[in-house]
Structure formats: C-alpha cells, structure tokens
Amino acid sequence: MFCPHCGARAEDGAAVCPACGQALTPAAPPAETAPPVEATPDASAVKDYLTVNIVLLALSVCCCGSLPAVVTGIIGVIFSSQTRDLLRFGRSDEAARKSRAARNLAIATGVILGVTALIALAFVALYGTVIAAMFASLS
C-alpha cells in the first residue's frame, strides 16, 4: 500500500506511514458491482411474425419459385412457431431472440422475392421485345 499523503510505500495493514508519520486508513475493498441486468421483455410486446412469414413463403412457392426465398421463408416460419411456443411457456427472453430472427428472416425473404421479381420482369420485358422484333421483321 502507498501513503496517500507522501506516496511512500508502507506495509499492508500499517497504521502510520513510516516516511511521514501520517495515519493510514485501510483501503476500502472495491465495491462489487452487479452485472447489468437486461430488462425482461414483456410477453405481450413480443411479436411472432408467423402470418408474415407464411404469406411470404406462399408467395415464394407460388409466384416466383426462388429457392433462396423458399428456404428463408421456411426457416422464418420455424422461428415464428418457436416464438409462439416460447411465449406460451413464459420464456420471453428466448422468445424475443427468436422473434428478432423471425423478423429478419421475413425481411430477407421479402428482399429476395423483390429481387427475383425484378429479374423475372426484366426477362419478360427482354423476351417481349425480342418477340416484337421478330414479328416486326416478318411483316
């Protein structure tokens, strides 16, 4: 330990400083700080996104048939179902994590569907202009 007055080294537990003679107060042990506690999410505030994931999965299968969109849609439905089960059993912390994953998968599925639809639209437009050019050359 060191003297707070003169900075000289003193033995641990010494009552006075050997250099300046000032009284030494024992150092207080460091206060224990509790780790920050995350707030438990309210079960009513956790959404499962099941309907959104089912609709996006149906659109993936029926309209575009994009394999990545189908895969993310299926995984999104699974996470949404797990969210519902966890909420039913009162495990809102895990349900909140699954809910975020289900939401992110719904967003990913929607983006993949949008990109696939734009690509399909570009092919249809390109194919249409090729067909129109072929008919124009025939007449």
The proportion of the chain whose per-residue pLDDT surpasses 70, expressed as a percent, equals 86
Contact predicate 58/76, CB 8 Å: no
Is the per-residue pLDDT at 37 higher than 60?
A: no
Task: Establish if 105 belongs to a structural domain.
Answer: yes
Task: Establish if 33 belongs to a structural domain.
Answer: no
- Give every CB contact of residue 41 below 8 A, 6+ residues apart in sequence: 92, 93, 95, 96
Task: Establish if 71 belongs to a structural domain.
Answer: yes
Q: Which domain holds residue 7?
A: 1-27
Per residue in 59-83, pLDDT tens? 888 876 688 889 999 999 999 999 9
How far is 91 from 41, CA to CA, in rounded Å?
10
Per residue in 96-134, pLDDT tens? 999 999 999 999 999 999 998 898 889 888 888 888 888
Shared-domain flag, residues 52 and 18: no
Contact predicate 53/106, CB 8 Å: yes
Task: Establish if 1 belongs to a structural domain.
Answer: yes
Structural domain count of the chain: 2
Task: Establish if 77 belongs to a structural domain.
Answer: yes
